[in-house]
Amino acid sequence: MKITALIAEDEPLLAANLQAELLKLWPELHIVASVGDGESAVESALGVQPDVMFLDIRMPGMTGLECAQALAEDWPANGRPFPLIVFVTAYDEYALQAFERAAFDYILKPVQPDRLAKTCARLKERLADGSAPPDEASLGKVVDQMRELLAAGRPDALSAPAVSAPLRVIQASAGNTITMVPIDEVCYFEAADKYVRVVTANREHLIRMSLRELLQQLDSQRFWQIHRGTIVRSDAIDTAERDEAGKLTLTLRGNPARLIVSRLYTDLFKGM
């Protein structure tokens, strides 16, 4: 069966060089897509479902880590096995300790043929391993590894400096009006393209910032990220219901929304 791969690299020359080296080292490998940003990588990967992905850590929009996280959350249960991921990074050995603790592979920029050859050999071995676990177990393992990688602290400047004091008021502007929304009234935040929806018990507002930026300014004890696109106020949660497939859904006090918890964050909810 033909082995397929997707390359996500925002520098065209580096993407072309990686593709050329791969074709030399692994002529049977079929490059099905080469994209230049994380959002396109997620969309393409969910569409073509490649066997292997080469993800640049730094890309416009989503980082490589966020792209892998999104795929781990959204990979179809009835699809092909989750792809083997190779991160392409420019980080030093200290930063790469996070990748060593996880089971993802990585190659350093500029890509060295000898190192890439070893990576290709490992990929071939893993793809040929007939004892690989079933899809759901494979994805569960990937989710666990991604959680470890994220918990280890994003390498280099991927992690923003801590703020001195968490936000107490959200300033939501609409036209010439700025609405002051007390943080205690917010039920949850939800990413919406280039904005974030601020949802209270009876109103919604839009603020122009990324969810990642907002998360850095919130009290982590009160506001929990439960999905890459959702942050919920913990004391607004009424129940956490687990279905037969293990998926968690939250109900809230004072708001009819039902929020899905990604597998990456289910460990937030443990009975006492």
Q: Which CATH superfamily is domain 4-156 in?
A: Response regulator (3.40.50.2300)
Same fold: 4-156 with 169-268: no
**What pLDDT was estimated at residue 159?**
41
Q: DSSP characters for 35-79?
A: ESSHHHHHHHHHHH--SEEEEESS-SSS-HHHHHHHHHHH--TTS
Asked whether 29 and 20 are in contact (CB, 8 A), the reply is no
**What pLDDT was estimated at residue 163?**
52
Q: What is the CATH number of domain 169-268?
A: 2.40.50.1020
Q: Has this prediction a pTM greater than 0.75?
A: no
**What pLDDT was estimated at residue 134?**
46
pLDDT at 64 exceeding the cut of 50: yes
pLDDT at 144 exceeding the cut of 70: no
Question: pLDDT of 74-112, one tens digit each?
Answer: 888 777 888 898 988 876 554 565 566 555 788 888 889
More confident residue, 65 or 93: 65
Going from N- to C-terminal start, the domains of the chain cover 4-156, 169-268
Please count the other Cβ atoms lying within 10 Å of the Cβ belonging to residue 167: 16
Confidence category of residue 19, pLDDT binned at 50, 70, 90: very high
